[in-house]
Amino acid sequence: MEHEGQLKKKRVRRWSSPAHFSNKRKASIFGQDFTWEVKANDSDYHKQFKKSFLCWKRTKYSGNAINTAKYNILTFLPLNLYEQFHRIANLYFLFVILLQTIPEIATLPWFALLLPLACLLTIRGTRDLVDDIARHRSDRMINGRPCEILLGKSFCKKRWRDIQVGDIVCLQKDDFVPADLLLLASSEPSSLCYVETADIDGETNLKFRQALIITHKELVNTDKMAAFDGLVVCEEPNSRMHTFVGNLEWKGEKYALDSEKILLRGCRIRNTDTCYGLVIYAGFDSKIMKNCGKIKLKRTKLDKLMNKLVIIIFLMLVAVSFCLAVAYGFLVMDLKTRHSYLPAFYRNSSLAKEAFLSFWSFMILLSVIVPMSLYITFEFIYLANSCFINWDLEMYYSPLDMPAKARSTSLNDQLGQIEYIFSDKTGTLTQNIMTFKKCCISGLTYGTDENSGESLEAVSLSWNKYADGKLVFYDPTLLIAIKADEDKTVREFWQLLALCHTVMVEEKDGQLVYQAASPDEEALVTAARNFGYVFLSRTQDTITTSELGVEKTYQVLAMMDFNSVRKRMSVLLRDPDGTIRLYTKGADTVIFERLRPGCPNELATEKALDTFAEETLRTLCLASKEVDEEAYREWNKRYHEAHILLQNRAQALHAVYEDMEKDLKLLGATAIEDKLQDGVPDTIHLLKKGNIKVWVLTGDKQETAVNIGFACRLLSDDMEILDEKDIYGILEAYWESNNNLRSVQNSGPKLQQPHSKMALVVTGDFLDKLLLQSGEEQARTKKSNLLTRGGWPCGAQQVQEDLAIRRERSFVDLATKCQAVICCRVTPKQKALIVQLVKKYQQVTTLAIGDGANDVNMIKTADIGVGISGQEGMQAVQCSDYALAQFAYLQRLLLVHGRWSYLRISKFLRYFFYKTFASMMVQIWFAFYSGFTAQSLYEGWFLAFFNIFYTAYPVLSMGLLEQDMNAKKCLEFPELYSVGQKNQLFNYWVFFVALAHGTATSLVNFYVALWAFNDFAGPGSICDYQSFAVTVATSALLSVIAEIAMDIKFWTILSILAVLSSVILYSLMSFLTQNFFISHVAPTMFRFPDASRNALTEPYILLVVLLTVVVNTMPSLAVRLVYHMTAEPKPGKPYRDTQVEAGTVELKAHFQRGSTRRRSSYAFSHKEGYADLISGGASLRKKSSQVTQDPNQP
């Protein structure tokens, strides 16, 4: 036997070896090849599988340690420098510095440019390093979480990073799942395990997972788990969160595995004391990590534009330097011809060489037109504006002591250019708190709106010892009717809420704690509890309640669970008096169809439902009936026959349920509020008025998401909501036409309401079929292109790729023409895919906002990522660019800080280029009078200090403090936000206008001074080169200061001081650098002794400076005056949505407000509950002798 066991092991290893695996035996499940093998408790088994890339090989199975940081100790310096030199400006500066090292063409010391560049690289590198250190710290915290791993025959304390594929781990209550696990056993009955998946799909309600029966029965202690050698054969690691297909092979048998047997990394164990799992996917192979995108280098539109402008300026400098060098060559040739002694000076040099050296000298001389101080000032402005966001008390959330946080300091101006917002729902728009608000019983509506303006007092529930103290209800008439206990319908209404559900209950510290399959159901049972009808406990066939203090036990005869087809749930009970009753709750559409003819209060209840729907409350209808004993016996016989069928069991059960759920008596309706975060509707309304489109991408159900869409004013009453059938109709016409949506506008039937607004509601399955399929087609095409290069035909592949691109583009075109888009049941990867497609095909600026780990990929993909510090942890915040405590703060972040930042940066850039051109272009004009030599007109120290001291503070004050309106006005007129979306304040046109303006100013500065000095030449006059240079420099400085004084719209004391400081610093530094003593000590460095004092004490020179400033200023004043006189006032226009320009099929709203179908989408939107588990007794602990698995006991 022992020999046979060894042979069997050898056969298994030989069959699973890499060489044989690929061609001998590939596991085939449902026609697909599955190549991922996991063997329990055998680490050596997995080491034999290798992945190869070129000449490197590594283990196929990843470890569980993760690393989300960009750098490490070895890669930081080269990788960060590589990223920084992606900026064209940095390459330009490096090129000029290299030129400075050549003595023949150097005009400035090489270190004069190297130090500013080193300073710039250090500032940006330090910022990137600080961000990456935070990522390393987060990774260490996650990888260092404790866990228990089975080593040998006992569980040992280890860290998450020590987990390997094939290990068996032990998890306790409230632990996070460290890897994707196959559930083997748990301490719960039938090895159930309750998990919270908030970090994956945003839902905080509990879900259950259940182990295989074989592992539940066999793996009852540690010794048996240590001996477990099962082999799992399943699909390769992928990003599909809601699916899993595989088999467990053990003891010669195969057992099917699905997603209900898998615990995903990131889930949290709830209401389960202990559970055990086999690691299937670890680390980056886990599904949640497959959905997490890589860290991307984000750059703003202005940053990208600056790169292009630097190239333009460089080409301009090359052209100007070339022309001046050619002119220098011709001048030298002319002088050599006319002056016979000059050739002796050029004996060892040719004319071409002189022109070549002159060209590079001019390149260095004019390189200051793109000064490095621009980028250093840039970084300081970004940092200061980020601090303004951090210090804004209007975005401080006092309940959590949480201010806004700008985690990235280089994206502020992009906040003023957002066109699309992609938002999560649960925890971002909503608080995920369901509150019982109103109800209708026998046609009477109970409950008052707390915002009605009346002075209301909440009813007291102190008489009820089971009340949880959280319910706030303002209508005392309901409490009076309940306490009176005279109305049979009122009594049945609350009995139904306490009995018809699949809620689990346990007692903690003397308090009842409910756990439901949906927060809606928990809210209803809790409401019944607060009003005196308390669900106490349940067994497999009984439910115990306390009704107004009287404890009653009901016998459960049958439970008919909710699903998306039935849209209702029923429970058949025998009450303590022996009467059989059916209680049913569900959507109004299905309940009203099953009422007995002539049911009273039907019309009144329908009106109440309409009212509840208008208030965007989630509604549910309640009904009941008595069942006589004979009818029950006959029905129960058919029920058991259907229950034991092996084929079509579900359909047979549904038919039996239909027979019972008819001729019902209507009891009433409930209304639940899915509580939004404060200010969400107003925020979305303001953002829409600012021409920002808001899309909701959620992992929640479609009905819930649509309901929230109406509640937060994303959807409106007059919108037509397109469902998947309508979308397919439009897209099919698009594909057939092989053109854009506009071209097919006239090719088919028109829209019934051409001017109606449109909204799009799609599911993750729809996107899977439409988008992921096209993505896979493109991926296959790219791979096959490798073959086409070798001569294989590529026509069909090209057509396939074109079809895939057309499919993506058509969907994005349609979606972007709608006023609102809601995507439900989408995975984290699908969220990122949608953001990526909109960026790709619309070329727009996007923002993603979320609060959970399921939003991380979307946040990384968008141009701006905002993390909400919510109930789902801090994963989103750690990967975000900005962190907020509430969604409502987004309006101030964008409409105030974003708009101000864009305005400040744009005006800063325009003015910086203007002042640089105005002061430095004179070097070109001076070349015409200096023999085209690369001699500088200005004093060297003026060039060094011009951008650092003389003009830095006025332009810095503009970049930090400028406002065209205060924060209140920004929020009052959100339409003005579109300025940033259209790139109106800084673009190519603005740049070339600044170039023309600066060139004109430089011409005035130079030629007015030249004219004055020509006229003033003579004995006793001041007309030397140094005085001329001082005059031009002073004129240039005062002209640009006057220009910025006219351009500043928001004056503060700091702005005034900044302008005055420029003049003061110019006077002070001129005195210091032109002192006779210091010139005597270092004459080569200080070449203008007393030049400013000699020139600027002459009245004539002062009048020349004044004339120059006036001539430069008057045109600017005239242009501003004409603009203000001719420009018409632009009042805020009423927001008008863009119309859909497509009409190939007849579109009908499937979720119209006010209709019965519309109300149905509000009702009971949760997944199938725990009815099967309850009926089978699998989920219930026995009171008499509670059994808990203890693996340490043999």
* Burial class of residue 490 (count of CB atoms within 10 Å of its CB; 0-12, 13-18, 19+): buried
934 by DSSP, 3-state: which? coil
3-class SS string, 137-187? HHHHHHHCCEEEEEECCEEEEEEHHHCCCCCEEEEECCCECCCEEEEEEEC
Cβ distance 112 to 371 under 8 Å? no
Bridge partners (DSSP) of residue 207 are: 195
Residues 6+ away with beta carbon under 8 Å from 1193: 221
CA 891 to CA 898: how far, in whole Å? Answer: 9
Report residue 930: phi and psi, to 5°.
-115, 25
Query: 439, 498, 476, 475: which is closest to 667 by C-alpha?
Result: 439
- Provide CB contacts within 8 A for 704, sequence distance 6+: 425, 618, 674, 824, 1165
CA angle 513, 514, 519 (to 5 degrees): 135
What are the tokens at 701?
A: 């159900």
C-beta separation of 1174 from 502 below 8 A: yes
Region for residue 13 given its phi and psi (left: phi exceeds 0; alpha: psi -120 to 50; beta: otherwise): alpha
User: How far, in Å, are 88, 342, 365, 934, 948 from residue 95 at the CA level?
Assistant: 11, 34, 13, 18, 22
- What distance in Å separates the CA atoms of residue 1164 and residue 18, rounded to the nearest whole number? 51
Q: Which tokens hold the place of 92?
A: 């330009």
- Neighbouring CB atoms inside 10 A of 188's CB total 24
Chain centroid to CA 413: 18
User: Parallel, antiparallel, or unpaired: how do β-strands 231-234 and 246-250 relate?
Assistant: antiparallel
Catalytic residue selected from 424, 520, 674, 851 = 424
Contacts of 412 (CB under 8 A, 6+ apart): 382, 385, 386, 389, 406, 897, 898, 901, 905
CA 723 centroid distance within chain: 25
Helix (H), strand (E) at residue 421: strand 420-423
At residue 514, the 3 state secondary structure works out as strand
Contact 613, 1158 (CB under 8 A): yes
Q: How many residues does the chain have?
A: 1194
Q: Residue 828 in contact with residue 858, Cβ under 8 Å?
A: yes
| Beta carbons of 506 and 491 less than 8 angstroms apart | no
Cβ 283 vs Cβ 64: under 8 Å: yes
Are 41 and 150 spatial neighbours (Cβ–Cβ below 8 Å)?
yes
Facing residues of 169 across strands? 149, 277
What whole-number distance in Å separates Cα of residue 433 and Cα of residue 417?
33
Question: What is residue 842's three-state secondary structure?
Answer: helix
Is 424 designated active site?
yes
DSSP per-residue codes, 540-559? SSEEEEEETTEEEEEEEEEE
* HEC readout, 944-987: HHHHHHHCHHHHHHHHHHCCCCCHHHHHHCHHHHHHHHCCCCCC
Cite the active site residues: 424
